[in-house]
Structure 1
């Protein structure tokens, strides 16, 4: 059966952030089937099809106006550096109408960085969890108190409306979408083509400005790698702290500072990701996957997998097992 590419419309507004604008076409453009057929098409539109300025010193000359949003499967709003959505929350009524219409007909809606201001101004984030660049969190809360803002994460997926943190977090969000649509194998391939990690630990809390710790105490990276090699074994917090040659309290503080997660949360994330890969790429039974990923029992795997991924392991395997 021929693959019909998923159509993505990137809605660029004036003062669009250059990196945010290019991220969707770069990342989604690398997602292919086993025979190299593109899984996505990415096109750019602007209000009225007019040129808009970018923050990178060039103008965007689009081939489409807002009519592109009427047929796109996904609409992405990149970040903006300045303008009314950040200043007073105002957005072109035509943009608001286009975004709401796309959402109402079931299109996936996404924002990168400060593009969340545009979605919030259009009323699409009311009552939802969302994120944006940490540096603009206070302004966002002032303008949109009805949004449940979490500035510590890299991205959030809230029932078809997705937001990412600042700048490069757009890469993480796009890879998450590919992983959701087509599985880890395709997402990992895209990540390799873009020369980025397929999954970054923690959230943007680790990038917020804070005093730099002493070098001798700064890194838990070696211990994280040590733990990744032992996901199939019981690994306690004290084991991690001992490997890092720190007290449990000091290790926990530095670990959370570096990753944005507690050691327990991080281990669950790593084990769940490993279980996903095993379900996609091996014939191991669910019991065997549970043991290899460190959950111990199939019941524990099902509980944690459903909580973090949203489906049972067997349902996930049925969806993604044939993915190259």
Structure 2
């Protein structure tokens, strides 16, 4: 099949668990998770941008993670929901390639970023005196840039290569989005060479980062255990364990899908892994990493009216100096009053 015929052809997405007995309940649950994930990550990005106290390397990396998670879940769930409600299951060749490229880019970027976040925590706990040097603003920007550049380069290779395999017979993708194993499963040529390339790439972008993360948290555990304060030790251990839970969930499903041959697992198993990685994890990340943090909660309270008090006549008077949005609104209102007085 030449490139012209391939680009004019389209694929059929069978959707999320086609054999499910209660599809309405399933899609409603997925949309609920999508709403929570979008709200949580958007709120976290906004708070980090608004509150100067959160302009630190740790929260900068967290904001990058929220951007990735927000885009990660948005590149798959809306299309699946539209297909379900409209009854249309087709997706064009270019749309499929774009979705695969976006999915791979964001997934690889998250793997790299989670590793850098573990390194940030390692430096903060195990080498605090050099934290400002090792995690300077310049270093943070270089980390973010290297994350996106490396992810885009790897994703481009793993999008162009599989999408050029000839497809024989049915063009039905037993998935709710265009994913590499689903495309490979439809190919009618030997993909063993590419499977080896995929395996090596998985070692570089999945297994190696996962090992580095485990090493970082192991060193953090050893340092925390030597703390004199039991309360601080327990808090640090609880935080690290929750982080490791999310990391293990994300990397576990990715290693299962991409480090094993495509023929060794079923489409349903691929879908379960994809749901855990692309839908559940983006919802858990803001809860586990940030929204349980006292500094984030404090920033949230400032901009949700907790700092507001009622004056004697019952009107709402807000502490605008503590909330940038309310401060801007107050300035704008005062200017309107001044203009009105001049007009009178």
Instruction: Mark yes or no: TM-score above 0.5.
Output: no
The structure richer in strand per residue is 1
The structure richer in helix per residue is 2
Higher Cα radius of gyration: 2
Higher relative contact order at CA 8 Å, sep ≥6: structure 1 or structure 2? 2
TM-score, structure 2 normalization = 0.26
